[in-house]
Structure 1
Amino acid sequence: MDERDWLILHILYEKRNITKTGQTLFISQPALTTRLRQIEDEVGAKLIYRSGKGIHFTPQGEYLAKSSKEMLTRIQEIKDRITNMHEGVRGTLRIAATHYMTKYKLPRLLKLFKTNYPQMEFKVNTVWSKEVLNLVNTQEAHIGFMRGEYSWPDERKLLFEETMCIASKEPVVIQSLPKLPRISYRTDESVQLLIDSWWRENFTVPPSISMEVDRLDTCKDMVENGHGYAIMGSMILHKTDDVYKIVIRDKNNQPVMRRTWMIYQKESLSINAVRAFVDFSDTIDYLEL
């Protein structure tokens, strides 16, 4: 079995569907079915069977599929080590980052880094902060950019912090918020907890949610067009002059803060590209990116 075979098993275990697996891997359904049979012949065991409800794995198939992630990670580690044996900084840096970082910070950051190290390439995975932790922990990503307060046992660096604030098209009074239309958005668990905790400290009734949107930047657009208020970090409102902002404060009258971190595993610094990126990051003012 080669790397492609392990990848097939990994995706098939996630999708539980031949057609969707083929689409993900850009393999025709007949070619994928043929390759699965060849893998079964190679290992000497039946791996999957079909029913009216889709694909099911035999015990042998279950074992191989669950091993596929470990095998793919190990193969990538070997490739990293081989690349690292060359002089200089080259290869592919794998990054996991939140949507905010991917949209507003990473494009400029990676451009600056590549100017210094033109032989570098990047693979960026945009996920929620909790998934950033998982990807760096399993070494599927070398570097992670996450927002909020999550426990991380290895190396991390604080990149910047921002105040949480009430954003609205027209001036509002905090005490009147429960009666005003609020725009909510999907966000990381830690940020939602931060907002909910502040609300409970100040009000005994739930907010009046008028809209629920998928992204923070969509929420910002709705606020700018006067559809309600929202509670969000101040960074996304940078250079937005036509929106009123009120910094929210905790029970000790301290501003409620949201922090953004870069995380990585200390052992990954043995990879030239990772060490170069971490060192380069120390020279960057993330607030000005």
Structure 2
Amino acid sequence: MNERDWLILKVLYEKKNITKTAESLYISQPSLTKRIQQIEQEYGRTLVVRGAKGVQFTTEGEYLAKCADEMLERLYRIKDHILSMGEEVSGTLRLGVSNYITRHKLPVLLRLFGEQFPKVNYKVHTGWSRDVFNLVYNQEVHAGIVRGDYNWPGPKQLLFEENLCIVSKEKIGLHDLPSLPRIEYETDSLLKKMIDHWWSGTFSKPPLLGMEVDKADTCKEMVLNGLGYGILPSVLVEHSEGLHQINLKDEFGNPLVRRTWLLYHEEALQSKAAKEFIQFVQTIDFKNQL
């Protein structure tokens, strides 16, 4: 079995559907089916069975599928090591990046890095910071960029800080908040916990939720149109005109700050591409250059 075969088993086990797996891997369904049959012939066992509810894995098939992550990780590490033995910086840089950084910072960051190291390829996983943290922790990526103060035992680098603030179209006071519509949005658990803790320590009743939206960018647009106030990281609104901001403070009068970190394991530095990227990030002013 080669790398492609392990990837087929991994994706098929996740999706339990031939059509979706073929689409994800950009191959035809007949080609996918034929390759699965060839793998079954190699092991002399039936690995998958098609049924009314999609693909079902046999005991042997499930065992192989669960080995896929380990085998793919081993193959990636072998490739990284071989490429790192040469003088040239090349290979695949595997990154985990939070949603906000992906949308607003990552494209420029990778362009600038790519200008110096044009032979480096990228595999980027995006999601909530908690998901990215888990990717780094399990060494599924070389490095991760997360927002929030996670309990990380390995090397890390502070990229930037931002205040949490009340954002509104019209000028309001903190004492007005319980009676005004708040625009809620989906976010990672650490930020939500920080906001909830501040609210419960400031007010004796829950907020008046005007609406719930998908992300912080949408919340800002709703605020710009006067549909309520939002509690947002300052980096989202610092260049927006026509908005009023009130920086939040904790019970000791200190600003409520959200930090963005680069996390990685020491082992990641064995990859030349990862080592150069981590060193490159240290030279970047995330707030002003990106």
**TM-score after normalising by structure 1:** 0.96
1:86 and 1:193 map into 2 onto residues whose CA distance is: 47
Match of 1:67 in 2: 67
Q: Distance in 1 between matches of 2:68 and 2:210?
A: 45
Aligned residue in 1 for 2:171: 171
Give distance in 1, aligned partners of 2:127 and 2:116: 27
Q: Paired residue for 1:272?
A: 272
Which residue identity lines up with residue 119 of structure 1 in the other structure?
K
Task: State the distance in 2 between where 1:21 and 1:123 align.
Answer: 19
Which range is displaced more, 49-58 or 233-242? 49-58
Find the residue that maps to 1:239 and give its secondary structure: coil
Compute the RMSD of aligned alpha carbons. Answer: 1.3
- The AA in structure 2 aligned to 1:168 is S
CA–CA distance in structure 1, aligned partners of residues 75 and 34 of structure 2:
24
The one-letter amino acid of 1:16's match is K
Counterpart mapping for 1:178-257 below 5 A: 178-257=178-257
Cα deviation digits, residues 203-254 of structure 1 (max 9, x gap) = 2222121221112111111111111100011011121121000011111111
Matched residues in 1 for 2:117 and 2:18: separation? Answer: 41
Q: CA deviation at 1:116?
A: 2.1
Query: Following TM superposition, by how much is the alpha carbon of 1:86 offset from its aligned partner in structure 2, in angstroms?
Result: 1.4
Verify the 8 A CA contact 2:79 2:91 in the aligned structure 1.
Answer: no
SS in 2 for 1:286: coil
- Does residue 109 (structure 1) correspond to residue 109 (structure 2)? The answer is yes
Match of 1:283 in 2: 283
Instruction: Report how far residue 61 of structure 1 moved.
Output: 1.0
What whole-Å deviation, never above 9, does each CA across 1:12-41 have from its counterpart, x for those lacking one?
A: 111011111111112222222222121111
1:15 partner amino acid: K
Equivalent-residue separation in structure 1 for 2:224 and 2:137 (angstroms): 38
Q: Deviations over 1:24-71 (max 9, x none)?
A: 112222222222121111111111223322222111111111111111
The whole-number CA distance in structure 2 between the counterparts of 1:30 and 1:269 is: 41
Deviation at 1:201, TM superposition (A): 0.7
Partner SS, residue 287 of structure 1:
coil
- In the alignment, the residues of structure 2 paired with residue 118 and residue 59 of structure 1 have an alpha-carbon distance, to the nearest angstrom, of 44
1:27 maps to what in 2? 27
Matched, 1:137 2:156: no
Q: Which residue of 1 aligns with 2:13?
A: 13
Amino acid in the other structure paired with 1:93: L
Structure 1: how far apart are the matches of 2:120 and 2:6?
26
Aligned pairs for 1:90-129 within 5 A: 90-129=90-129
Q: What SS is found at the alignment partner of 1:238?
A: coil
Letter aligned with residue 95 of structure 2: I
- 1:178 to partner: Cα distance: 1.6
Larger CA deviation: 273-282 vs 260-269: 273-282
Deviation of the 1:263 alpha carbon: 0.6
Q: Which moved more, 1:237-246 or 1:88-97?
A: 88-97
Note the C-alpha offset of 1:139: 2.8
Whole-angstrom distance in 2 between the partners of 1:117 and 1:27: 30
Question: Which ranges of structure 1 fall in alignment gaps of 5 or more residues?
Answer: none
TM-score (norm 2): 0.95
Shift, 1:175, TM fit: 1.5
2 CA distance for matches of 1:32 and 1:111? 35
Unmatched runs of 5 consecutive residues or more in structure 2: none
Answering whether residue 88 of structure 2 is matched by residue 85 of structure 1, we say no
After superposing on structure 2, the runs of 4+ consecutive aligned residues of structure 1 that deviate more than 3 Å are none
Q: Which amino acid aligns with 2:61?
A: G
Moved more, 90-99 or 251-260: 90-99
Q: What is residue 45 of structure 2 aligned with on the other side?
A: 45
CA shift, 1:87, in A, is 0.4
Deviations 1:162-194 (A, max 9, x none): 110000001112122121111111111101111
SS in structure 2 at match of 1:166: strand
Distance 1:210 1:71 in 2: 49
**Number of residue pairs aligned between Structure 1 and Structure 2:** 289
Cα deviation for residue 157 of structure 1 reads 0.8
